[in-house]
Amino acid sequence: MPEPTTPSAAAPTVTPPGAEHRLVDVPGGRIHLVEQGTGPLVLMVHGFPESWYSWRHQLPALAAAGYRAVAVDVRGYGRSSKPPAVEDYRMLAHVADNVGVVHALGEERATIVGHDWGSNIAAASALLRPDIFTAAALLSVPYAPRGGPRPTEAFAHIGGDEEFYVSYFQTPGRAEAEIEPDVRGWLAGFYTGISGDTVPPEGEGSLFFVAPGGRLRDRFPAGRLPAWLSEADLDHYAGEFERTGTTGALNRYRNVDRDWADLAAWDGAPLIQPSLFIGGALDASLAWMSDAVRNFPTTLPGLVSSHILEGCGHWVQQERADEVNEILTRWLDALLPTR
């Protein structure tokens, strides 16, 4: 287990040159975003446990390519609203936030790009509001339509005697008690443990399962940070969660059953807009969801291309920024050739 860490003395420069921070009103509160460039709107949605900052490499690249690149803090994160009730973080609320952001920016439609939970949010946004979200790029987590048994029932059977991390996150306060006494150390271990260049060897136990009476961080690797994560980057992420706490972020996991009920009308529904998938070959998400990738011809009939990056872990747009920027830009240019 990593020892508690302290911030570096130098404060990070968190905003790419030329990008601007904004707060916009949406029906559920306010959303903080960072935008750069002009042209067709590309809305980028982060996952857990991150922020708009996970798109810091994509903002200037997409702006330079002729797009209005916008990265949000998902509700519960950063400077965005943090409503108190667990149910305020259901998928329908996140979709409504994205619709509200598009309207607040004076736009009628957007291409949406998501990573990790942001991939699920992007897919749901495109599924429920195809009139607004005309294409979707999904990073790390493949699209899987609503279906099957109630999610918490399914998760309870994963891992045998050990507890799957999504189940571990279900009880309010439980994961917070592990994370918040040492936010920076916990984040360092979590990021490191599923990065391509620092993922633990097979046989050391999965990071995503908790032994009886244990904690998730018990299996975090110690040692160097992954190459994509500087001390200043870690300072930024830790600073955000030190200020906001982690409950809003964790509440996304606590709505999986509610989402399953809310989206019953879309059971098995394919995502028909033009789409893109980018994943890391060393990302455990691809192993768990290999069936979802195999089902892309049915579930993503508009899939333009799928890219599995060798040697890459979970944090694809940060681990392989240049490669992801090139893939995204080429896909966008093919979608919008007359912009």
| Residues marked as catalytic | 116, 314
DSSP track, 70-130: EEEPPTTSTTS---SSGGGGSHHHHHHHHHHHHHHTT-S-EEEEEETHHHHHHHHHHHH-T
b/e sequence 43-75, b meaning 16+ C-beta within 10 Å: bbbbbbbbbbbbbbbbbbbbbebebbbbbbbbb
Q: What is the spatial distance between Cα 107 and Cα 101, in angstroms, rounded to a whole number?
A: 9
Side chain identity, residue 175: A
Side chain identity, residue 20: E
Q: What is the spatial distance between Cα 291 and Cα 56, in angstroms, rounded to a whole number?
A: 31
With a CB cutoff of 8 Å and minimum separation 6, the contacts of 122 are 45, 112, 113, 114, 133, 136, 137, 138
Q: What is the spatial distance between Cα 253 and Cα 86, in angstroms, rounded to a whole number?
A: 10
Q: What is the DSSP letter of 314?
A: S
